[in-house]
Structure 1
Amino acid sequence: MICVKDHDVLLHITYDDIVKYHGRTFIAGAAMAYKLLELVSAVLTNGILVRDKFHIVLGVNGPGIIDAIEMATRARTRGTLSIDQQIAREKDAPAAADGQDGKYYFEVTYGSRKMTVWLQDGLVPPEFLVLAAKTHDGTITMSEMVRLQQLKEEIAVIVISKEARSLFQYTLQ
């Protein structure tokens, strides 16, 4: 569970809450973002994330990632969430399935502290990237769409079952 302070109210946000907000279409990204927020909470805070202390730059334009971060932090609504695949071009981070050459790379500023985070290699299967690319170029078949959704669900289950620190590499600045 993620604890988030919004003004004077403490919110307890679960992964199920994220799924209710986002749905299941990009469930793997939603799971990754939930674990990213768990990591940020553990490393940069006393266990409570304060919504108005965030500035987040994503190296991937992933709807599941964006929705999960927005639901928990309201960073998009507050204008403190941006997407910039250029920041990740030269980084050693895994390729993302966004069709825009993004990578699973994130820069999170929380108050005066900054954390650069990227997904561990090997968590995203090559088949997932191949099928996701087909959704972007319009060549995916119906059976491939079914398989892609299965992969998203499988990735989400794996991600949610792991400790956040085992999923990401990070540096503090």
Structure 2
Amino acid sequence: MSLIVREDTTTLDFTFDDLMKYHGPHFPGGVAHAYSAMRVALPRLAPLVERREVQVRTAFRGPGGRDAVEMVLRAVTEDRYIVTAELEKPERGQVLERYVWEFGYLGNSVTVQLRDNGFVVEEFIALGRKPDRTEDEEARLTQLKREMTARLLSRDADEVYEIV
């Protein structure tokens, strides 16, 4: 499955692998989160969005998510990408609170959040937020990133993110 957007009269098609080539190897889970969120949200805004007209607000702080949105929507370099704690949902707990994305397009908006289906595990959050990780902890975190990415991509995007 891919993300399809428009830029003027050109249709652009982005796969997860395309986004990973742009981002690099370090944060595949963040790329997978943004990819899934966009796959749910963008078709709800229009059959084919004009990529440079979409605004993005999110509680997600990761560089993988940022880079995925930048490649598809060019929102970072054009100041249409905002990371804000306003969208955090602490009532969902530490594991889920920051996996919230709001996409705006031509006066309409849609907000999506990660479903509570075990896509992100507590160990990942704890290790990711831990300062001064050991070499073994870094290796474990890398493994957890790969596992999370596989979980996210193994399901249809609507099973990963829900509209709220």
TM over 0.5: yes
Number of equivalent positions: 162
Report the equivalent of 1:111.
106
1:163, 1:170 → 2: CA distance? Answer: 14
**Post-superposition shift, 1:53?**
2.1
User: Could you report, residue by residue, the CA deviation over 1:50-108 in whole angstroms, capped at 9, with x for unpaired residues?
Assistant: 11221110112110000000010001111111111133255637536xxxxx6111111
Runs of 5+ unmatched residues, structure 2: none
1:42, 1:89 → 2: CA distance? Answer: 24
Runs of 5+ unmatched residues, structure 1: 97-101
The answer to whether the 8 Å contact 1:51/1:74 transfers is: yes
- TM-score, scaled relative to structure 1: 0.86
Report the equivalent of 1:15.
16
Report the equivalent of 1:147.
140
1:111, 1:94 → 2: CA distance? Answer: 33
The answer to whether the 8 Å contact 1:6/1:50 transfers is: yes
The answer to whether the 8 Å contact 2:95/2:122 transfers is: no
- SS of 1:107's equivalent? strand
Percent identical residues = 30
AA of the residue aligned to 2:141: L
- SS of 1:49's equivalent? coil
Report the equivalent of 2:45.
44
1:128 maps to 2:129: no
- TM-score, scaled relative to structure 2: 0.91
Listed as ranges, the matches of 1:1-173 within 5 Å are 1-46=2-47, 48-89=48-89, 92=92, 95=95, 103-121=98-116, 122-134=118-130, 137-138=131-132, 140-171=133-164
1:13, 1:109 → 2: CA distance? Answer: 20
**Post-superposition shift, 1:167?**
0.7
2:91, 2:68 → 1: CA distance? Answer: 23
- SS of 2:30's equivalent? helix
2:160, 2:93 → 1: CA distance? Answer: 12
